[in-house]
Amino acid sequence: MQSLSRAHAPRRDPAPSRWSYRMQRLWLTPRFRFFMRYGIPAMAMAMAVVLFLANPERRDTVSGMIALAKEQVTERPMFMVNLMSIEGASPDLADALRAKLALRLPQSALALDLDAIRSSAENFDAVARAVVRFGAGNVLQISIVERQPAWVWRTDGGLILLDDAGHRVAGLAARADRPDLPLIAGEGADQATLEASAILTAAGPLADRIRGLIRISTRRWDLVLDRDQRILLPADNPLAAVNELMALNMAQDLLARDLLSVDLRNPQRPVLRLAPPALDAMRAAQGITVSTEPKS
């Protein structure tokens, strides 16, 4: 009887249950395993930190500890900057830079913003480029590439020194302070210094007579010579006009005559404007009499 009862006992189904099957499949998912192994512990730690810092006294304690640790690190002698050196700048510019930066030394190198210092230095008109770095001996080194004056620009507000690219360098009190630099004038003259330089180079034979260049309507130049002579250049290809004028002057000594202006704006028809004495002499030579009596 006992053997028969065992024979009729129900057998256990070896297949997993539905929930067990789903959990096994879920554990095979890489994202779920990553979340269970790392995500839940991280969330538990974050929750513990939030609960810990929920108390204002604890927050103040932690902030004080962080500030104290930062202060102890930043104020170490190895990080303290004691001196500042400025290289490549004139004495006046160096003094102006020191006054503008107004750095209080000694100061920790970790508290200095090198990019901000460089930007402040490059805001000066006379500074083309600045490099800021920490040197040996806890020295803050500022290397300056200074703009070199190449032009004197006469404006309604006064005289301005420009570099070869037309960038402002500094103001100028009087033209006599820089007689070695060429003079330009007119609105927009600072934007066309490259063309002005090429014109002066082409007019090299007249260098002793050139007084300056005047920008007309921000589109063309007038070349001003001594004796109040003026060369009106075209807006397009002024170098060709200057070269033709130089050749004509060399052949006929044109600019040595009593002229007020030479208008080269129309390449096909140059126009000469004579001074009044020269015009009267030419008319007399041609037998033309001009009455100077006032009309009744």
- Per residue in 229-286, pLDDT (tens digit) is 999 999 999 999 999 999 999 988 888 888 899 999 998 888 988 876 666 665 665 6
* 156 and 281 both lie in a single domain: yes
84 domain residue, yes or no: yes
* 181 and 259 both lie in a single domain: yes
Query: What is the number of domains present in the chain?
Result: 2
* 105 and 227 both lie in a single domain: no
175 domain residue, yes or no: yes
Q: What percent of the chain has pLDDT over 90?
A: 48
The predicted model scores a pTM of 0.68
Q: How many residues does the chain have?
A: 296
* 233 and 269 both lie in a single domain: yes
* 106 and 220 both lie in a single domain: no
Read off the tokens for 148: 């070199």
Looking at the predicted structure, is the pLDDT value of residue 190 above 80?
yes
Looking at the predicted structure, is the pLDDT value of residue 13 above 80?
no
Looking at the predicted structure, is the pLDDT value of residue 144 above 90?
yes
Looking at the predicted structure, is the pLDDT value of residue 296 above 50?
no
* 170 and 225 both lie in a single domain: yes
* 187 and 254 both lie in a single domain: yes
Look over the chain and give the mean of its residue pLDDT values, rounded to a whole number: 85
Q: What pLDDT is recorded for position 217?
A: 92
Task: Say which residue, 77 or 34, is predicted with more confidence.
Answer: 34
153 close to 184: Cβ distance less than 8 angstroms: yes
Read off the tokens for 115: 């990019």
124 domain residue, yes or no: yes
Q: For the CA atoms of 133, 139, 142, 143, what is the dihedral angle to 10 degrees?
A: -90
Q: What percent of the chain has pLDDT over 70?
A: 84
121 domain residue, yes or no: yes
Give CA angle at 257 (201, 243), nearest 5°: 25
Q: What pLDDT is recorded for position 258?
A: 84
Q: What pLDDT is recorded for position 1?
A: 46
Q: What pLDDT is recorded for position 10?
A: 64
Residue tagged 């302070």 (tokens): 177
* 129 and 169 both lie in a single domain: no
Average pLDDT over residues 38-63: 84
Q: What pLDDT is recorded for position 149?
A: 94
Q: Which residues pair with 224 in a beta bridge?
A: 212, 230
Q: Give the domain extent around 96.
A: 77-146
Query: End of a domain among 146, 164, 189?
Result: 146
Query: End of a domain among 123, 146, 169?
Result: 146
Query: End of a domain among 122, 146, 170?
Result: 146
Average pLDDT over residues 123-148: 91
4 domain residue, yes or no: no
221 domain residue, yes or no: yes
User: Which CATH number goes with the domain that contains 95?
Assistant: 3.10.20.310
Q: What pLDDT is recorded for position 120?
A: 92
* 110 and 224 both lie in a single domain: no
141 domain residue, yes or no: yes
* 186 and 280 both lie in a single domain: yes
Q: What pLDDT is recorded for position 211?
A: 95
Q: What pLDDT is recorded for position 32?
A: 83
* 160 and 270 both lie in a single domain: yes
Q: What pLDDT is recorded for position 121?
A: 93
* Phi, psi for 59 (deg, rounded to 5): -60, -45
Q: How many CB atoms lie within 10 A of CB 266?
A: 11
pLDDT confidence tier of residue 292, bands split at 50, 70 and 90: low
* 158 and 281 both lie in a single domain: yes
Average pLDDT over residues 44-62: 83
Read off the tokens for 216: 């007309």
User: Which CATH number goes with the domain that contains 190?
Assistant: 3.40.50.11690
Distances in whole angstroms, Cα of residue 204 to Cα of each of 212, 228, 247, 292: 13, 18, 12, 41
17 domain residue, yes or no: no
